[in-house]
Amino acid sequence: MAPLERGVVIVGGGHAGYQCVESLRRGGYAGRLTLVDADGQLPYHKPPLSKDYLQHDADPARLHFRPAAFYDQEAVDLRLGRRAVAIERRGRSVVLDDGESLRYDQLVLATGSRARPLSVSRERVADVHVIKTIADIDRIRARLQSVHDVTVVGSGFTAMEFAATATLLGKSVRVLARGQRVLAQALPACLSAWLLEEHRRRGVQVLFGRTVERVELDESDTTGGLRVTDSSGAAHRTGLLVAAIGAEPETGLAAAAGLECEDGIVVDAYCRTSDPAIYAAGDAVRFFHPLLQRQLRLESVQNALGQAKTIAAHLLGRSEVYDAVPWFWSDQYDLKLQMAGLHEGFDRLVWRGDPASRRFSVLLYRKSRLIAVHSVNRPGDHMAARKLLAAGVSPPAEQAGDERYRLADALAA
């Protein structure tokens, strides 16, 4: 590809932004490449934040995708700690918070998502922790040094991962869940119930049907403890309050520039926004998924990486539509949960392996077609599931529950 005059500017140095850099350079893109990120860190892995990084490892450098030298070698102009505040589409430039204007030929928005804030009084905002960045976890870790009782609001992936890690750190953990089960969007009810028991067995107290009504300073606690009143009227004294109630797509920049947004920046099959000079990828993006036949927004590393690769391919002159089977993972205690496909609308569920062994999968079918496989400590099933779902091959439900039957064999049938 001939170097373009102004080059590619990428806003957001998370999984999608970093992957775009890597794939462009690996694909031979020799033009100017600028990566802007509001976080002051070198681009880094987010998943360990609620897991290993919180539990063991306080060295941020271990989370970085690459050391600083990589960006020098690859001639990537890094603008860390700089926020993009406006896009001037007519002149093709991005304005940063220090007033600098970066001109682009192509712009990639990889702005991710932000933690949904808990609604509390203005005085208490700083007492509510979220789990999104290294700085967030460093603050939580510092607080955990001196508190024993922890309250988590939310029951999605991040909330339950945090609950697991805090428990492993010896803390007493209470979860306030708005709905009636954990990981309600990600898992079928039977798996939610199974996982809930894993948490309860380790002492996590999960209270369902509760939202937070009020957060106040606990006057009887001189160490800055809080009194959290939930919607049932119960008051909980807690040393640390963490809100993990979901994420909202970072669409502000795109929307202000007049790009089409609807719970995410709307992109086409090549991850182009409504302006053909501007692409978008990752948590911030809403797109039509050809396999699922509907619009959706996904918050996963796999989706961020896949969309970034699609953008790089398009910028390098190859038209590859983004149609990957969604997959996710979550680590809680010694459990590796891996989910391939989306289970919504399933009408048949097949157990493969004994849940009591803590090594099993559930296969979910709709009209005899395999639509998702959720595995616990069975990575082989997960890998086979991704291949089966991508190929549109459904192992017969009658056989799939038999552990002697190899799921991957269905591909050859």
**349 vs 189: CA distance, rounded Å:** 11
Does 264 help bind ligand FAD (rule: CB under 6 A)?
Answer: no
Regarding beta strands 8-11 and 106-109, do their DSSP bridges make them parallel or antiparallel, or are they unpaired?
parallel
Choose, by CB under 6 A, the member of 7, 47, 188, 306 that binds ligand FAD. 47
333 with 202: CB under 8 angstroms? yes
**Number of residues forming the site for ligand FAD (CB under 6 A):** 37
Q: Which residue, 23 or 50, has its beta carbon nearer to ligand FAD?
A: 50
User: Which parts of 132-161 interact with ligand FAD (CB under 6 A)?
Assistant: 132, 158
The residue type found at 26 is R
Q: Which stretch binds ligand FAD (CB under 6 A): 104-112, 174-182, 199-207, 367-375?
A: 104-112
Does 282 help bind ligand FAD (rule: CB under 6 A)?
Answer: yes
Does 329 help bind ligand FAD (rule: CB under 6 A)?
Answer: yes
Does 381 help bind ligand FAD (rule: CB under 6 A)?
Answer: no
- The neighbour count for residue 209, using CB atoms within 10 Å, is 12
Does 112 help bind ligand FAD (rule: CB under 6 A)?
Answer: yes
Identify any residues that bridge with 229 across adjacent strands, giving them in sequence order. Answer: 214, 235
Three-state secondary structure call for residue 384: helix
Choose, by CB under 6 A, the member of 10, 35, 42, 49 that binds ligand FAD. 49
166 with 202: CB under 8 angstroms? no
188 with 364: CB under 8 angstroms? yes
Three-state secondary structure call for residue 406: coil
Q: Which stretch binds ligand FAD (CB under 6 A): 175-183, 280-288, 352-360, 381-389?
A: 280-288
| Two structure tokens written together for 285 | 């993006």
Choose, by CB under 6 A, the member of 7, 14, 353, 395 that binds ligand FAD. 14
21 with 309: CB under 8 angstroms? no
Determine the distance from the C-alpha atom of residue 122 to the mean position of all C-alpha atoms in its chain, rounded to a whole number: 28
Q: Which residue, 41 or 229, has its beta carbon nearer to ligand FAD?
A: 41
**25 vs 128: CA distance, rounded Å:** 40
Q: Which residue, 34 or 50, has its beta carbon nearer to ligand FAD?
A: 50
Does 257 help bind ligand FAD (rule: CB under 6 A)?
Answer: no
Least spacing, CB of residue 410 vs ligand FAD, in Å: 26
Choose, by CB under 6 A, the member of 7, 13, 156, 353 that binds ligand FAD. 13
∠ CA 302-38-284, nearest 5°, is: 35
Does 338 help bind ligand FAD (rule: CB under 6 A)?
Answer: no
Choose, by CB under 6 A, the member of 270, 322, 328, 346 that binds ligand FAD. 328
DSSP state of 188: -
Mark 214-253 with x for binding to ligand FAD (rule: CB under 6 A) and - for no binding.
------------------------------------x--x
Q: Cβ-count burial of 274 within 10 angstroms (0-12 exposed, 13-18 middle, 19+ buried)?
A: middle
Q: Which residue, 82 or 236, has its beta carbon nearer to ligand FAD?
A: 82
Ordered alpha helix ranges (H), 4-67: 15-26, 52-55
Among the listed residues 112, 111, 107, the one whose alpha carbon sits nearest the alpha carbon of residue 9: 107
Least spacing, CB of residue 4 vs ligand FAD, in Å: 21
Choose, by CB under 6 A, the member of 22, 127, 230, 299 that binds ligand FAD. 299
Regarding beta strands 33-37 and 8-11, do their DSSP bridges make them parallel or antiparallel, or are they unpaired?
parallel
Does 325 help bind ligand FAD (rule: CB under 6 A)?
Answer: no
Choose, by CB under 6 A, the member of 20, 21, 38, 102 that binds ligand FAD. 38
Axis crossing angle, helix 15-26 with helix 301-315, rounded to the nearest 10? 40
Three-state secondary structure call for residue 400: helix
Three-state secondary structure call for residue 219: coil
Least spacing, CB of residue 287 vs ligand FAD, in Å: 13
Does 110 help bind ligand FAD (rule: CB under 6 A)?
Answer: yes
Q: Could you give the maximum distance between any two Cα atoms of the chain, in Å?
A: 68
Does 37 help bind ligand FAD (rule: CB under 6 A)?
Answer: yes
Choose, by CB under 6 A, the member of 8, 16, 212, 384 that binds ligand FAD. 16
Least spacing, CB of residue 340 vs ligand FAD, in Å: 12
Least spacing, CB of residue 242 vs ligand FAD, in Å: 11
Determine the distance from the C-alpha atom of residue 275 to the mean position of all C-alpha atoms in its chain, rounded to a whole number: 26
By CB under 6 A, name the binding residues for ligand FAD: 11-17, 36-39, 46-47, 49-50, 83-84, 110-113, 131-132, 158, 250, 253, 282-284, 299-302, 304, 328-330
